[in-house]
């Protein structure tokens, strides 16, 4: 794809503008640019009034709030903080006695294609029953529970059941290793783990419970008193008597009715770990009231949700996208949604399109990395090309997780959206909780590769290192001038790190996103260019360079030193390139390949397969300045295979650049 001709294409298409159709504008929840601008003006005029009105309208409060925003202890902002609500009641109970009660809440499609549907009423009963099971084991408001679950109805039920009790969940993606899981269990002080015996992915049965056992065996997990095991498959797994219980055991005899526990608006709904630029992953803490408000609102705004929509967000519940747009947003909005267990390429790369066709999906939301891999597959095989399916049900398509390159944008627009569906390219983060900058389908003219304009009530800016705002056309760092309801509240257990990371003193109180961005000169549209800190984005998954480096140097018998950088990759957006100094002489070719494999497997064990370096290069040293600082800029050029044009005169040891150019 990265041929010179497609590079020319991308320059051409970037200038094209795609306005919404008249019909789309006419029927949209936010209809036309004037409506959008009017909402922005309302927020400009009375910021707290704007958010307060929305919170009263879209959230059911058991105790109404009287204060909208408390900034007295900024940046530890509080929203609606004398109000009380229950998030699960806002997603389920709220719909009882309305036409939504008997509507399908979830269309679940298993890896093997089996389809199960549950209505809102049935889902409420299942959540109530599971909440009672947790309660019967003494789990209560404020406790932390880890989820290590496959994409299943049970995963959604478990998260909602936690929310029902005011129990704080922390979901760990099923692809993370035992070590990563243990880190999170310890950091969060979990009293229980909810998991499954196995997960099914691409026709393969893969263990989950065994990894939980390994994690607990690594030590420090004494807080875990209960492990709940959903029997996803019939294959047995080891069970520790007294600690481990199957779902059927704990659900037996439990009533399906469980009164939702009202919590303060600021009560943590969940903690989700994400990678930062330094050290270990941080537990991003989200609130109940403000978070729920924006999860619900963005369903109406970004996805223009209508009662008859069939919504599908393909993200795993292990990521923030799965939290906001599988578990909370769609249910709070009373949508019918698809939950998919499997992978986009099984049984073939037409799976997504086949599912859209069969379930008559109307709003489809996925990641650029999936789109790019499906483009590639459909170029090789017409049968899996979207043109071989009836995708006319679609009306809006979305993108999330990384910048979408214009080539992928245009393919998605033409072949999936039939040239008819607006693409909502949503820019946001684990920390922002919900969408921040994206087009509105019935208002914003689209420009490929641009996430366009902020949602009403959101105030991004592009600033330099001193927090000074940059004019349009000049790149800089993305920041937010005002807080927003679904924002991160703190880093679990580390408020200092929260302050330092997101509100550095030179930023004048602005929230610092960690991304580079530029606004276009003509429209003031935002284009996010990628991370400017040491965070990698591989297939839309966030990883810290330091995290991968620490994993590598933890292989103490082999590795003396390691430096990790990202390089562009056609398929995964970015790929990990590791530069490694071994505790032995530079290996021969054969030997180097074997060691590289050993290191990749090691990283998979330390973090998870998503963190495996694609490139591994060995050298007798790393390029360093005389003061001993690793010259990462040089490493980035080497990783890209670029000729070194930088000044290397300050380099202590220029000859190692040649060694490090060789990939294994
Ligand atoms: C929701 C999510 C956040 C980082 C973010 C940025 C990148 C996400 C993007 C995008 C360009 C988009 N990112 N969406 N970059 N355009 N539409 O992905 O959260 O996993 O925390 O990642 O992803 O770099 O800072 P998270």
The DSSP line for 169-202 is EEE--TTS-HHHHHHHHHHHT-SEEEEESEEEET
Q: Does 528 sit in the ligand 1 pocket, CB within 6 Å?
A: yes
The DSSP code sequence of 281-339 is: -EEEEE-SHHHHHHHHHHHHHTS---TT-EEEE---TTSHHHIIIIIIHHHHTT-EEEE
Q: Does 400 sit in the ligand 1 pocket, CB within 6 Å?
A: yes
Whether 582 has a pLDDT exceeding 60, the answer reads: yes
Q: From the CA of 438, give the closest atom in ligand 1.
A: 17
**What is the structure's pLDDT at 11?**
46
Residue whose CA is closest, atom 3 of ligand 1?
429
pLDDT tens sequence across 68-80 = 999 999 999 999 9
Pocket of ligand 1, candidates 282, 401, 406: which has the most ligand atoms within 8 Å of its Cβ, to mutate?
Answer: 401
- Spatial contact of 518 and 527, defined as CB atoms under 8 Å apart: yes
Whether 8 has a pLDDT exceeding 50, the answer reads: no
Give every CB contact of residue 629 below 8 A, 6+ residues apart in sequence.
none
- Residue 393 known to bind ligand: no
CATH class of the domain comprising 539-660: alpha beta
**Looking at residue 452, what DSSP letter applies?**
B
Q: d(Cα 518, Cα 497) in Å, to the nearest integer?
A: 27
- Spatial contact of 454 and 460, defined as CB atoms under 8 Å apart: yes
- Phi, psi (rounded to 5 degrees) for 324: -80, -35
Pocket of ligand 1, candidates 176, 298, 402: which has the most ligand atoms within 8 Å of its Cβ, to mutate?
Answer: 402
Q: Does 531 sit in the ligand 1 pocket, CB within 6 Å?
A: yes
Pair type for strands 78-79 and 69-70: antiparallel
* Interface ipTM above 0.95: yes
- Residue 232 known to bind ligand: no
Q: How far is the CA of 515 from the centre of ligand 1 (A)?
A: 9
- Residue 553 known to bind ligand: yes
Using alpha carbons, select from 269, 80, 36 the residue that is nearest to residue 164. Answer: 269
Mean pLDDT across the chain: 94
Q: What pLDDT band is residue 10 in, cutting at 50, 70 and 90? A: very low
Q: How far is the CA of 63 from the centre of ligand 1 (A)?
A: 35
pLDDT tens sequence across 419-463 = 999 999 999 999 999 999 999 999 999 999 999 999 999 999 999
Q: What pLDDT band is residue 4 in, cutting at 50, 70 and 90? A: very low
Q: Does 664 sit in the ligand 1 pocket, CB within 6 Å?
A: no
Whether 325 has a pLDDT exceeding 70, the answer reads: yes
- Residue 56 known to bind ligand: no
- Residue 420 known to bind ligand: no
- Residue 481 known to bind ligand: no
Of the two residues 58 and 647, the one the predictor is more confident about is 58
Domain borders along the chain are 539-660
Residue whose CA is closest, atom 4 of ligand 1?
429
C-alpha triplet 320, 195, 289: angle, nearest 5°: 35
Q: How far is the CA of 401 from the centre of ligand 1 (A)?
A: 4
What number of residues does the chain have?
664
- Residue 204 known to bind ligand: yes
Q: How far is the CA of 232 from the centre of ligand 1 (A)?
A: 31
Q: What pLDDT band is residue 111 in, cutting at 50, 70 and 90? A: very high
Q: Which two tokens stand for residue 276?
A: 């930062």
Q: Which two tokens stand for residue 528?
A: 């996010």
Q: Does 402 sit in the ligand 1 pocket, CB within 6 Å?
A: yes
Distances (CA, A) of 554 to 198, 561, 607: 29, 10, 12
Whether 278 has a pLDDT exceeding 90, the answer reads: no
């Amino acid at each position: 794809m990265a041929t010179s001709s497609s590079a020319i294409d991308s320059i051409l298409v970037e200038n094209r503008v795609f306005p919404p159709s008249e019909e789309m504008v006419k029927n949209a929840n936010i209809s036309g640019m004037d409506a959008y601008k009017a909402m922005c003006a309302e927020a400009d005029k009375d910021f707290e009034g704007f958010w307060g009105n929305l919170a009263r309208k879209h959230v059911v409060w058991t105790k109404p709030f009287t204060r909208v925003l408390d900034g007295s202890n900024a940046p530890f902002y509080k929203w609606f903080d004398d109000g009380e609500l229950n998030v699960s009641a806002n997603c389920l109970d709220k719909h009882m006695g309305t036409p939504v009660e008997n509507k399908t809440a979830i269309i679940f499609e298993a890896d093997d294609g089996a389809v199960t549907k549950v209505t809102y009423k049935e889902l409420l009963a299942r959540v109530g029953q599971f909440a009672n099971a947790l309660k019967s084991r003494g789990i209560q408001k404020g406790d932390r529970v880890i989820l290590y679950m496959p994409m299943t109805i049970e995963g959604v039920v478990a998260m909602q059941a936690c929310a029902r009790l005011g129990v704080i969940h922390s979901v760990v993606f099923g692809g993370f290793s035992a070590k990563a899981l243990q880190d999170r269990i310890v950091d969060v002080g979990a009293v229980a783990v909810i998991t499954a015996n196995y997960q099914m992915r691409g026709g393969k049965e893969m263990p989950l419970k065994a990894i939980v056992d390994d994690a607990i065996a690594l030590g420090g997990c004494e807080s875990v008193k209960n492990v709940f095991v959903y029997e996803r498959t019939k294959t047995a797994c080891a069970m520790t008597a007294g600690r481990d219980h199957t779902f059927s055991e704990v659900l037996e005899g439990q009533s399906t009715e469980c009164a939702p526990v009202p919590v303060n608006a600021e009560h943590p709904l969940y903690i989700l770990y994400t990678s930062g630029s330094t050290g270990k992953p941080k537990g991003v803490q989200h609130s109940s009231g403000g978070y729920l408000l924006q999860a619900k609102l963005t369903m109406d705004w970004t996805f223009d949700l209508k009662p008859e929509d069939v919504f599908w967000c393909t993200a795993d519940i292990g990521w923030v996208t799965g939290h906001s747009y599988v578990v909370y947003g769609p249910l709070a909005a009373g949508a019918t949604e698809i939950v998919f267990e499997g992978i986009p390429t099984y049984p073939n790369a037409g799976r997504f399109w086949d599912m859209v066709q069969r379930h008559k999906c109307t709003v489809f939301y996925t990641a650029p990395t999936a789109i790019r891999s499906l483009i590639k597959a459909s170029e090789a095989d017409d049968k899996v090309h979207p043109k071989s399916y009836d995708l006319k049900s679609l009306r809006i398509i979305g993108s999330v997780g990384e910048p979408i390159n214009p080539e992928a944008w245009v393919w998605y627009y033409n072949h999936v959206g039939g040239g008819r569906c607006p693409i909502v390219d949503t820019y946001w983060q684990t920390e922002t909780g919900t969408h921040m900058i994206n087009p509105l389908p019935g208002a914003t003219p689209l420009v490929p590769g641009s996430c366009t304009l902020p949602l009403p009530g959101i105030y991004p800016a592009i600033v330099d290192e001193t927090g000074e705002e940059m004019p349009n056309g000049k790149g800089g760092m993305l920041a937010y001038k005002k807080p927003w309801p679904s924002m991160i509240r703190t880093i679990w257990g580390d408020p200092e790190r929260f302050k330092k990371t997101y509100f550095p003193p030179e930023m004048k109180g602005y929230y610092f996103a960690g991304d580079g961005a530029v606004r276009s000169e003509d429209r003031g549209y935002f284009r996010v260019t990628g991370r400017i800190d040491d965070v990698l984005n591989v297939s839309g998954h966030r990883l810290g360079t330091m995290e991968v480096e620490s994993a590598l140097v933890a292989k103490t018998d082999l590795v003396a030193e390691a430096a990790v950088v990202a390089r562009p990759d056609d398929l995964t957006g970015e790929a990990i390139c590791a530069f490694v100094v071994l505790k032995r002489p530079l290996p021969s070719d054969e030997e180097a390949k074997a060691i590289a494999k050993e290191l990749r497997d090691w990283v998979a064990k330390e973090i998870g397969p998503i963190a495996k370096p694609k490139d591994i290069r060995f050298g007798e040293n790393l390029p360093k300045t005389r003061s001993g600082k690793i010259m990462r800029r040089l490493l980035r050029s080497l990783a890209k295979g670029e000729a070194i044009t930088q000044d290397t005169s300050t380099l202590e040891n220029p000859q190692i650049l040649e060694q490090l150019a060789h990939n294994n």
